[in-house]
Structure 1
Amino acid sequence: MTVLIRPEGNEPSDFNLSRRGLAGLTAGAVFTGYAVAALAQEAQPIVTDETGLETGMVSYPAPDGFDLPAYVARPEGDGPFPVVIVVSEIFGLHAYIMDVARRLAKAGYAAVAPAFFVRVEDPAPLADMRAVQAIVAQAGYEQVMGDIAATLEWASGQLWANTDRVGITGFCWGGKVVWQAAARFAAIDAGVAWYGRLAPSAGATPEQIEAGRPWPVDLADDLKGAVIGNYGSADGGIPNDTVAAMQAALEAAGQTESGIKLYEGAPHGFHADYRPSYRSAEAADGWARLLALFEAKLK
């Protein structure tokens, strides 16, 4: 078992994507297991069935010309359905992120989960955390924002998608992206960030501070929609003082619909049901907060 204090891991070998909607990729090109570097051997991950859903892989052009793969899960029928972009952890698009997309689809949303890292390599099958981190480091802010812009553009051309109602949610690395995207794109009406970094740590070097920009704590004035955060007080990688600083920045900016809930004693990755960090009660409460915000803002 691998235990990680920052982005932390019964791998169901029979997890298969539906081929409905498959475009631009073969089923064999898609890693459908759980991230190897973080999977707990004793984990019993939630697996959401595809009954009543349309699911599969698609691809569409990013601004840099890359053909960006994404997993899509939506309710059956014509819609149009509100769109939710799902942003992965550092492990990329794998079974857990796909399941989150299906959970959202079961709630009435068209969920799109782009594979942000595969320009370099898919990190999900890798056991070496240093290799994973090296891949993720190459996904810079402008590339990621471009991929989100491409996702919005692609969704706008789908008859089943209502891109007048758009949400975003993300985990760990993706949690930070939620804050950044909500500040960048007026099309995003609501966001839910799960334990993404908010500000540089006290010991960060100037290079690390610069590499992490724009930091969410500096974007509070720029949020275009409501963003809530689900964070753990025992997160070894996100100090509580940075959570307090973000909350203060939101209040100073008059962002009355945005804010952070800090779960006492919860570690990093408490929603990730395939990791040893999983905490069922906190995960369920955070998910209820997500559904309540999206219900209010997207429907």
Structure 2
Amino acid sequence: MEKPVITQAMINAYDEYTHLSLDRRSFMQKLTVLTGSAASAAAIAPLLAANSAKAEIVAETDARLKVGDVTYPGAGGEMKGYLAVPADAAGKLPAVIVIHENRGLNPHIKDVARRMALEGFVALAPDFLSPAGGTPADEDKAREMIGALDGTQTVGNAVATVAFLEAHDATTGNAGAIGFCWGGGMINKLAVASPDLKAGVAYYGSQAPAEDVPKIKAALLLQYAGLDDRINAGIEAYKKALTDNGKDFTIHIYDGVNHAFNNDTSAARYDKTAADLAWSRTIAFLKAKVV
């Protein structure tokens, strides 16, 4: 059986469904029109979505790591998260917060935390849906719950995560952060809210308002997908504000790739070449800025 052809219009429809106002029924109707039949739409939809079965690049049982669930104080209640630490660490290590997409803390993000730990960091992936009871298995439900979060409390929980890692026995007291999609936007908000954050890496994340940029102390690495018109519309204004305020930042735009190009569980949007380059830049940046 031939592999279905996925067009940019189909990817754009999926982005509209997962990030804007299109509900699942409307998305499937639109996909049916684009593919030519309901059967083709049903075959292509899973390729556009993330596949949690493909989430594990670094096994949870990897002997090089110590991993497990943790709880810690948030802005207004208990936060839960997933902590990964190199098993053979000879001393204290810098810390990195791994902030999830709008699907919540899922197996893919836990895997990214393990990858980060193998690079020599104490990696913590918080569940920002903790105030709502935690991330559900249903991704559509998780997206609804993300949209219903209290914005001020959520940023406060991110700031509390920095504080938790600063005080953690395994860390040097310095923390950076990396975030994807919704989490990329959270990186920019966290940089505004936390003067203690040393560095932030935002993958295809919405930008902070220009008037908030003077508050940023962290160095920023901002990584964007060339085909991501929705997010990229804010780049120039953000770049100008960062430049005008003398901030430490670097912007990379990866031509010809889509929003979520780093997510290797999404067959249609993942781009290995861009993802590998962005990851190498991420690790080099964090090792230079968070010590």
Out of 242, 252, 262, which is 1:261 matched to? Answer: 252
Q: Aligned partner of 1:125: which letter?
A: A
Change in 2 beyond 3 A, CA 1:134/1:37: farther
**Equivalent residue, structure 2, for 1:194:** 203
State how far apart, in whole Å, the 2-side matches of 1:110 and 1:253 are.
31
Q: Structure 2-normalised TM-score?
A: 0.78
Partners of 2:162 and 2:197 within 8 A in 1: no
Counterpart of 1:98? Answer: 110
Greater share of residues in helix: 2
What is the aligned partner in structure 2 of residue 252 from structure 1? Answer: 244
Among 69, 78, 81, the residue aligned to 1:67: 78
Query: For the Cα contact (< 8 Å) 1:80–1:160, is it kept in 2?
Result: yes
Q: Matches of 2:90 and 2:167 in 1, distance apart?
A: 14
Partner residue in 1 for 2:23: none
Deviation, 1:216, is: 4.1
8 Å Cα contact 1:78-1:159 kept in structure 2: no
How does the TM-score come out when normalised to structure 1? 0.76
What stretches of structure 1 of length at least 5 have no aligned partner?
A: 9-34, 199-214
* Deviation by residue 1:100-137 (Cα, 9 ceiling, x = unmatched): 1111100100011111013225455115x3x3332112
Partner of residue 179, structure 1: 188
Indicate conservation of the 8 Å contact 2:56/2:107, yes or no: no
Measured at CA, do residues 72 and 53 of structure 1 come closer, stay the same or move farther in structure 2, by a change above 3 Å?
same
Relative contact order (alpha carbons < 8 A, sep ≥ 6): 1 or 2 greater?
1
Query: Contact 1:78–1:160 (CA<8 Å) still a contact in 2?
Result: no
**Structure possessing the higher radius of gyration over alpha carbons:** 2
Give the counterpart of 2:219 among 221, 226, 229: 226
Residue 94 of structure 2 is matched in structure 1 by 82
Percent identical pairs in the alignment equals 29
Q: Using a 3 Å threshold, how does the CA distance of structure 1 residues 114 and 80 change in structure 2: closer, same or farther?
A: same
CA deviation vs aligned residue, 1:222-245 (integer Å, no higher than 9, x gap):
21011011101211531x332122
1:169 partner amino acid: I
Quickly say closer, same or farther: Cα 1:183–1:116, change in 2 above 3 A: same
Question: Corresponding residue for 2:158?
Answer: 148
Q: Aligned equivalents of 1:160 and 1:269: distance in 2?
A: 31
Q: 5+ unaligned residues in a row in structure 2: which ranges? A: 5-9, 20-45
Structural mapping, 1:99-114, within 5 Å: 99-114=111-126
Residue type at the aligned position of 1:133: R
Looking at structure 2, the residues matched to 178 and 39 of structure 1 have their Cα atoms a distance apart, in angstroms, of 22
Alpha-carbon distance in structure 2 between the residues aligned to 1:45 and 1:63: 30
SS at structure 2 position matched to 1:119: helix
Q: Residue 144 of structure 2: SS of its match in structure 1?
A: helix
Q: 2:280 matched to which residue of 1?
A: 288
1:232-274 superposed Cα distances (whole Å, 9 cap, x missing partner): 1211531x3321222222222222x303211111111000010
